[in-house]
């Protein structure tokens, strides 16, 4: 498909370089990979994705060859970010993810181009109020004739929005309404059919000392719980809990241990569950597109700054909930973040679940109405490039 946004024939902007450094886990590459595919497949840009750690990337895309310097995948040229990267010709749009700094020589080549590229720093996601004021701000290079712009994802119309592929919401909705497709899905990923009456939960988090208490609450609670345990840093605690329970067993809780899923299957998992425990950035966003209630294990930051970010999101997310549902959700999220007694707050959250389910759909619809990040980014870049061409 040709690019519907950057469609000025006098200025055929078609090439985009995305730079990604994998700091840890899968979030950095998860976000970049989604964006790269969307820009290539939906908007027709010629996209190169420069990644410093192809081995981590391979977890998300098993068909990727971690030893190849360059390969085509899903319409994107995936390139290993190494010393040769500096010698490549810069694209029209240059996106550095999370302030990862493209190579110095590449930046010089950008400065030497007749028409300067639109240079974007794609920032981390936050619901804090200052994001609207900082979104799209310019940052002139200290020495070179180049200007980089901050692009902040976010939850309001005055931010860059969230990554959402075309048709995602419809796919999720169709899947949720199709019981046979869900049964086939569970069989395919775990060879299991969850008990019909159980509350279905997915679990993806970091190490968290709140895990055993929550599992105890599930095992000894009033409702049957089916927990789909993803592959991740929470697994050791899950196994330790199982061992510690010994002859008491798992009570009303049944567990299914999943392999690492493709991103597409992980989306379906989120849609198939009644409640999703998610973490980091990308799974947190995907749970919102799944229109299901969620609990967020936010990535820890220096001086516990993540608590400010958590509070900012909760303020927005709970604004229209009843006081009972709002405090149930907040109590469990805070306990989960702090590694505290999340199990104590489970009964209240369970009671609030029907309201939280309706709210998750309302929240998703509101986010959809704000436009998606790739489209907003391209409009922003087009405006930048047109202004420079005047
Ligand atoms: O993996 P994360 O913790 O990632 C990040 C990074 O740590 C990053 O450095 C940090 O800055 C950021 O969090 C805040 O969590 P995240 O962002 O949810 O990314 C996980 C990705 O893995 C996401 O794209 C979903 C995907 N995934 C699968 O594809 N299959 C699976 O089975 C699971 C559990 C996840």
* Contact present, 150 and 136 (Cβ < 8 Å): yes
Per-residue pLDDT tens over the stretch 49-59 = 999 999 999 99
Predicted local distance difference test score (pLDDT) of residue 387: 77
Res 384 pLDDT > 80: yes
Minimal-distance CA residue to ligand 1 atom 4: 27
Stretch 368-378: mean pLDDT:
96
The share of the chain scoring above pLDDT 70, in percent, equals 96
Stretch 33-51: mean pLDDT:
97
More confident residue, 333 or 386: 333
> DSSP letter string over 280-324?
TTHHHHHHHHTT--EEEEPPP-GGGTHHHHHHHHHHHHTTTS-HH
Region at 273 (left for phi over 0; alpha for psi -120 to 50; beta for the rest)? beta
**Counting beta carbons within 10 angstroms of the beta carbon of residue 55, is it exposed (0 to 12), middle (13 to 18) or buried (19 or more)?**
exposed
Minimal-distance CA residue to ligand 1 atom 25: 283
Minimal-distance CA residue to ligand 1 atom 15: 280
Predicted local distance difference test score (pLDDT) of residue 12: 60
Catalytic residue among 17, 28, 123, 372: 28
Per-residue pLDDT tens over the stretch 218-243 = 999 999 999 999 998 999 999 999 99
Distance 226 CA to ligand 1 centre (A): 22
Q: What CA–CA distance (Å, rounded) separates 145 from 118?
A: 12
Minimal-distance CA residue to ligand 1 atom 26: 263
Strands (E), the chain: 15-20, 46-51, 70-73, 76-80, 93-97, 118-122, 138-140, 147-151, 199-203, 225-229, 253-257, 275-279, 294-297
Q: What CA–CA distance (Å, rounded) separates 205 from 227?
A: 13
Catalytic residue among 96, 216, 281, 372: 281
Distance 26 CA to ligand 1 centre (A): 4
Ligand 1 pocket check: which of 280, 287, 295 to mutate, most ligand atoms within 8 Å of Cβ? 280
Predicted local distance difference test score (pLDDT) of residue 83: 84
Grade residue 176 by pLDDT with cuts at 50, 70 and 90: very high
Minimal-distance CA residue to ligand 1 atom 5: 27
Per-residue pLDDT tens over the stretch 93-139 = 999 999 999 999 999 999 999 889 999 999 999 999 999 999 999 99
Distance 24 CA to ligand 1 centre (A): 9
Q: What CA–CA distance (Å, rounded) separates 85 from 157?
A: 35
Count the alpha carbons within 13 Å of 21 in the hemisphere toward its beta carbon.
10
Predicted local distance difference test score (pLDDT) of residue 84: 85
Q: What CA–CA distance (Å, rounded) separates 251 from 113?
A: 66
Predicted local distance difference test score (pLDDT) of residue 1: 44
Distance 126 CA to ligand 1 centre (A): 16
Distance 100 CA to ligand 1 centre (A): 18
* Contact present, 322 and 351 (Cβ < 8 Å): no
Give pTM, 2 decimals: 0.95
Predicted local distance difference test score (pLDDT) of residue 35: 98
Q: By C-alpha distance, which of 160, 137, 146, 90 is closest to 388?
A: 146
Q: Which atom of ligand 1 is nearest to the CA of 34?
A: 24
Per-residue pLDDT tens over the stretch 239-263 = 999 999 999 999 999 999 999 999 9
Q: Which atom of ligand 1 is nearest to the CA of 206?
A: 3
Stretch 2-22: mean pLDDT:
71
* Contact present, 201 and 277 (Cβ < 8 Å): yes
Query: Which residues touch 14 (CB under 8 Å, ≥6 apart)?
Result: 3, 6, 44, 45, 46, 92
**Counting beta carbons within 10 angstroms of the beta carbon of residue 120, is it exposed (0 to 12), middle (13 to 18) or buried (19 or more)?**
buried
Ligand 1 pocket check: which of 58, 282, 284, 286 to mutate, most ligand atoms within 8 Å of Cβ? 282
Query: Does the active-site annotation cover 281?
Result: yes
Q: What CA–CA distance (Å, rounded) separates 200 from 189?
A: 15
Res 197 pLDDT > 50: yes
Res 3 pLDDT > 60: no
Q: What CA–CA distance (Å, rounded) separates 328 from 196?
A: 25
Predicted local distance difference test score (pLDDT) of residue 24: 84
Query: Does the active-site annotation cover 24?
Result: no
> Quick one: the chain helix, strand, coil %, rounded to 5?
45, 15, 40
User: Token digits for 189?
Assistant: 């990923």
**Counts for the chain of helices (H) and strands (E), in that order:** 14, 13
Stretch 129-158: mean pLDDT:
97
Distance 233 CA to ligand 1 centre (A): 11
Region at 351 (left for phi over 0; alpha for psi -120 to 50; beta for the rest)? alpha
Per-residue pLDDT tens over the stretch 87-106 = 899 999 999 999 999 999 99
Q: What CA–CA distance (Å, rounded) separates 142 from 136?
A: 18
Q: What CA–CA distance (Å, rounded) separates 360 from 388?
A: 42
């Amino acid at each position: 498909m040709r690019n519907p946004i950057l469609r000025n024939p006098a200025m055929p902007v078609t090439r985009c370089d995305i730079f990604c450094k994998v700091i840890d886990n899968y979030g950095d590459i998860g976000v970049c990979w989604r964006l790269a595919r969307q820009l290539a497949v939906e908007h027709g840009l010629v996209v190169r994705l420069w990644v410093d750690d192809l081995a981590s990337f391979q977890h998300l895309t098993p068909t990727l060859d971690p030893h190849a310097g360059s390969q085509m995948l899903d319409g994107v040229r995936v390139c290993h970010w190494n010393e040769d990267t500096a010698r490549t010709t810069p694209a029209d749009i240059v996106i550095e993810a999370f302030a990862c700094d493209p190579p110095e020589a590449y930046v010089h080549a950008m400065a030497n181009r007749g028409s300067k590229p639109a240079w974007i720093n794609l920032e981390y996601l936050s619901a804090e109020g200052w994001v609207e004021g900082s979104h799209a701000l310019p940052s002139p290079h200290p020495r070179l004739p180049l200007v980089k712009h901050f692009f902040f994802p976010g939850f309001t119309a005055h931010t860059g929005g969230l990554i959402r592929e075309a048709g995602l919401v419809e796919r999720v909705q169709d899947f949720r309404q199709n019981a046979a497709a869900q049964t086939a899905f569970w069989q395919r990923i775990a060879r299991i059919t969850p008990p019909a009456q159980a509350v279905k939960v997915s679990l993806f988090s970091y190490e968290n000392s709140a895990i055993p208490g929550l599992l105890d609450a599930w095992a000894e609670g009033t409702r049957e719980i089916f927990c789909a345990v993803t592959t991740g840093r929470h697994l050791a605690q899950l196994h330790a809990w199982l061992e510690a329970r010994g002859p008491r067993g798992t009570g009303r809780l049944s567990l299914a241990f999943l392999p690492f899923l493709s991103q597409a299957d992980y989306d379906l998992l989120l849609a198939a569950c009644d409640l999703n425990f998610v973490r980091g950035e990308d799974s947190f966003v995907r749970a919102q597109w799944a229109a299901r209630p969620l609990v967020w294990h936010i990535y820890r930051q220096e001086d516990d700054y993540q608590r400010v970010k958590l509070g900012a999101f909760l303020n927005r997310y709970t604004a229209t909930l009843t006081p009972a549902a709002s405090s149930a959700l907040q109590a469990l999220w805070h306990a989960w973040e702090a590694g505290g007694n999340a199990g104590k707050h489970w009964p209240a959250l369970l009671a609030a679940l029907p309201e939280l389910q309706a709210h998750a759909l309302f929240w998703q619809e509101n986010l959809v109405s704000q436009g998606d990040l790739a489209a907003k980014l391209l409009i922003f870049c087009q405006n930048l490039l047109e202004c420079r061409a005047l």
